[in-house]
Amino acid sequence: DTGVSQNPRHKITKRGQNVTFRCDPISEHNRLYWYRQTLGQGPEFLTYFQNEAQLEKSRLLSDRFSAERPKGSFSTLEIQRTEQGDSAMYLCASSLNPGRQLGRGYEQFFGPGTRLTVL
Amino acid sequence: KQEVTQIPAALSVPEGENLVLNCSFTDSAIYNLQWFRQDPGKGLTSLLLIQSSQREQTSGRLNASLDKSSGRSTLYIAASQPGDSATYLCAVKRNYGQNFVFGPGTRLSVLP
């Protein structure tokens, strides 16, 4: 399977605990995005990596959130001291450098998501 | 600030009908617009990608159009089937930055 994968698929945690999610992008994709989606809403942008560099962060990404992409491959998203308001689906997407994707620049491919429930 | 809206929020049609979903955006300085499908509790599946220089894209029974100057895109689904039941989302990428902005989606039910 060459699609975007995310683990775990579901996570239930108690308020105040730390959680970490992993995203494995499509292997040749150098761009990686994290989004958060709550029920009935579209995904909201959190952060973006080009290779290993985190180039853009949303104001939604409070200081309790941190994301990494060591070596420009997989990425992790950590939430510290979780709150009930963090309950959501966390989605990862990847895309190719537009220069290598003629006519399809920045087309995003999404993983299945990680559903977080904070009790 | 780019805002994306989708009308209607929900739609229920009998099988076989042709239907149109609408997406509107406030800032016409976009790089591209992408339509997605999302099944309940799942991730997003890319349907069609329209670059800002294009007017439409087609894939099978799906046709998406883009009118950048008026800030609108439509997704046309021909001969709808129960398997088309899902939430359909549009997303725009602005000319600057990597922030893709999504609409809230249209929840489609196709009744057998």
Average pLDDT (B32-54) is: 93
Residue A113 has pLDDT above 80, yes or no: yes
Measure Cα distances from B101 to A14, A64, B2, B61 in Å: 31, 23, 7, 25
User: Which amino acid type is present at position B12?
Assistant: S
Q: Is the Cβ pair A58, B36 closer than 8 Å? A: no
C-alpha span between B35 and B37 (Å, rounded): 7
Give the mean model confidence (pLDDT) for residues A86-97.
92
pLDDT band for position A1 (50/70/90)?
low
Our CA angle for A15, A21, A26, nearest 5°, is 160
**Three-state DSSP state, A33:** strand
A41 in contact with B, Cβ within 8 Å = yes
Report which DSSP code applies to B70: T
* Size of chain A in residues: 119
Mean per-residue pLDDT of chain B:
94
Report the residue from A56, A107, A112 with minimal CB separation from B43: A112
Could A108 and B51 be called an inter-chain contact, meaning their C-beta atoms sit closer than 8 Å? no
Q: Chain A residues with CB inside 8 Å of B42's CB?
A: 112-113
Q: What is the mean pLDDT of chain A?
A: 91
B91, B36 in Cβ contact below 8 A? yes
**Residue A112 touches chain B, beta carbons under 8 Å:** yes
Angle made by CA atoms A78, A11, B101, in degrees to the nearest 5: 60
Q: Which residues of A touch B41 (CB under 8 A)?
A: 89, 115
Question: Is A106:B93 a contact under the CB 8 Å cutoff?
Answer: yes
Residues A32 and A15: their CA atoms lie apart, in Å, by 28
Cβ–Cβ gap A106/B89 under 8 Å: no
Least CB–CB distance from B42: residue in A107, A109, A112: A112
Rounded to an integer, the average pLDDT of A79-85 is: 96
B99:A58 CB<8 A:
yes
Burial class (CB in 10 A: 0-12, 13-18, 19+), B95: exposed
Give me the percent of chain A exceeding a pLDDT of 90.
72
Mean per-residue pLDDT for B74-90? 97
Task: Report the alpha-carbon distance of residue B48 to residue A24 in Å, rounded.
Answer: 23
